[in-house]
A and B are shown apart, each in its own frame.
Chain A
Amino acid sequence: MKIKKVVALGAALGVALAGVALAAPANAEPVSNSYVLVGSDTLQDSINALTNGTNVSGSVVRTTAAGATLGNYDAFGSSVIQTKPNGAYFGRPAGSGAGVTALRASITGNPYTPNPNPANVPARVVTGQIDIARSSSGPGSNANSAGLLSYVPYARDAVAYAYNGSNSDLAALTTAQLKQIYESSTPVVIGSTTVKPRIPQSGSGTRNFFLSAIGVTTLGSTVTDANGTTPENDASVLAADEIIPFSAASWIAQSNGATGLNTITNANVKLGAPNGNAAYTGTGNALVPSDAFYASSFGRDTYLVVEYKRVNSSDPAYDPKLAALLNPANATSLTNTGTFASTAGAVKRKFGFLAPSSATPIRAYTTL
């Protein structure tokens, strides 16, 4: 009998704590006055700058929806978010995959559960709560010309790897070495360094792209956080001799001081040059993306994903304000790729992005 009471008390406490977390998020973010973006960590900082306003390009640039402010929610933070007035609190989509999944749920009305879900946030109906998903990778095999989603090119990024090393052993790993490191179930030694591979959480577009770029389909057991929640583009997680896929744009943005948070201050943390090709030129706070590296197999187009019919001018559901946000011809649209100081494209360049290789949207997902 006593044992049963102890167990019951523990369960009751657990439920109570979870309830507190859901009812009163410690860091509530303002709700959006118009559209909502969630998803990729890689794209969040540059879009935060655009939606909140920035003068990083030399002129104040702010993206609004016909004057209404946007809500751009980070990939990481409090476990739940509320995105629109009186809307549901739901699990924060952490990464590209989770962002697209949440957008699909917002369209279908199916309950959304974040994945991964370390806080055990319950499923929530999020109908109409999300308008755009940030995705650092394309639709892959889900691409379909009759798709219900549209992947609108946002910018060109590249993925390298960050490492924490006191020597140059890990400075210029080849694709073959990287493949070996991430597939191996026994420690891989490069020079005098026993490499310890890390990987961002499973919903990360950066993770998926990097593994694809190096030809890895199954992670080796030396990747200890294969099923973990390691955030992407956060070099502060790196201990000595560890490496992790890292967005070149994010590295450049952090080094340039464009982001609010700088995780690359450790002197031993550096951005590796895959196959000897550096991702950037310049030093200090004046890094510039390398055209050659971004054009290589480590370069990737990134996207903003939206329901196709809302940006299809021949559809009754067409939303001209949403379409304008994604029209690159508009100087301050999210997808603009201009270079003049008052354009969104100029802001994105300060965040380490180049123009995408193609401006043509890709349709995907015939069913949601």
Chain B
Amino acid sequence: MFKKNALRVAMVGVVAGTIIAVSAGAANAAVDPTTGSKGPLYIADANDGSLWPVTTPVPFSQAVIARASDTDLAAVFVGSNDSTGVETFISPRGQETNPSAWLAYAPNDFIQGTKNVSYPSMRLDDNINGSLTAVKAGGNFSVGFAFMKNNYLNVSADGAYFTNITVTPGTGGADPTWEFAVPSTTVPEQPPVGSAEINLQATTIGAVDGTLNLVAPTVGTAKIENPTIVGGLSTSTGTLGEFTVQDTRVVSHPGWTVTTKVDPFVNASDASKVIANTQLGLAPAAAANFTLNPLVTLANPQVAGSANYGGTGAVFAQAGNTSAVPESKFNAALTFVAPANMPAGTYNSKLTLTLTSK
């Protein structure tokens, strides 16, 4: 039925997504992968910042630090004004953001003049408050640091960065040792705030001279910013950008349908890494400061992780044949959630909007 008197206008874009992949898999098979950390945390030698070999157990008293990136030595852990302090901690797994459950902890601090943190100590011995007795007895724990507020009572919105560890008790008076999980992927080089520009470059084919048009910028750019970790997964958000449907077929007014089709996301540096289009959430909406005619109906949002754009595309919006709606302006909220087992990087896709007359 969509083919009846069809006027098709396609808008094709490129969606580039950035992922922070957190501990999707542990390079150290002996330690369970970390889940729930605000971001990746890499264990490194305090002497020079070199990454600590994952196969080498860390002595309890060894001076090691946390790095925010395995490739950028200068990368910092980014905080905000919500945070008023920093503490390192050792906790039972799952209690990383519950300071009252921490086994041992110690004050740390921001970089002077900022709310960011650089190279916080991960030496277990340095957690001088609480008790290390249970930790030294061995077992599974988390070690990391947290951005704090309320005079160190609570973890702030900037969250806790940590890694799973497994402690082996020392024998014969020897230092206990510990092994750690490592994020399995590489964090892309990007501004330290985690912002990344995700461009949506929209082009149009020549508009059909008639009474039904889809108008979009010939070159459009949208930004998807602030990738954050939600439920342990990289989640980025942005907007599609405005486009307009014009319908002046006042006599026939048959109505129209806009559909959305999304291609799979392909890693820019490794074409073998592909993320399904089900990971792109899309919530159709009216453009800002524009009220849609009641005759226009928006489709339900597509939810990231379970989106279904079908083989020919999913309905974005439509209008019936009651009367022609001269102008309808749209936009959409985009949410891109990266699967845990995919490497960080830039992913490209094509998004096609198709306007069809009923």
Contacts and interface: CB of A to CB of B under 8 A. Distances in A.
B45 A60 contact: no
Interface string B226-249: 000000000000000000000000
A61 B126 CA distance: 10
A342 interface: yes
Given A55-B112, A330-B63, A342 B126 contact: no
Interface in A314-346: 324, 329-332, 338, 340-343
A215 interface: no
A324 B61 contact: yes
Nearest to B124: A67
A332 B61 contact: no
B342 interface: no
Nearest to B128: A67
Interface in A210-245: none
Interface stretch (B113-121, B149-157, B264-272): B113-121
A64 interface: yes
Q: How large is the interface on A (under 10, 10 to 19, 20 to 34, 35 or more residues)?
A: 20 to 34
B47 A62 contact: no
B9 interface: no
A286 interface: no
Contact of B108 (A60, A329, A338, A343): A60
B49 interface: yes
A176 to B, nearest CB: 43
A60 B63 CA distance: 12
A146 interface: no
Interface in B120-145: 120-121, 123, 125-128, 132
B109 A338 contact: no
Counting chain B CB atoms within 10 Å of each CB, the highest count among A59, A69, A324, A343 belongs to A59
Interface string A50-62: 0001011011111
B46 A332 contact: yes
A66 interface: yes
Given A64-B125, A331-B47, A342-B46, A58 B118 contact: yes
5 contacts: A53-B109, A61-B121, A331-B47, A340-B49, A341-B49
Interface of B: 45-49, 61, 63, 65, 86, 106-112, 118-121, 123, 125-128, 132
What are the 5 tightest A-B residue pairs by CB atom distance, in nearest-first order?
A331-B46, A59-B119, A331-B63, A67-B125, A342-B119
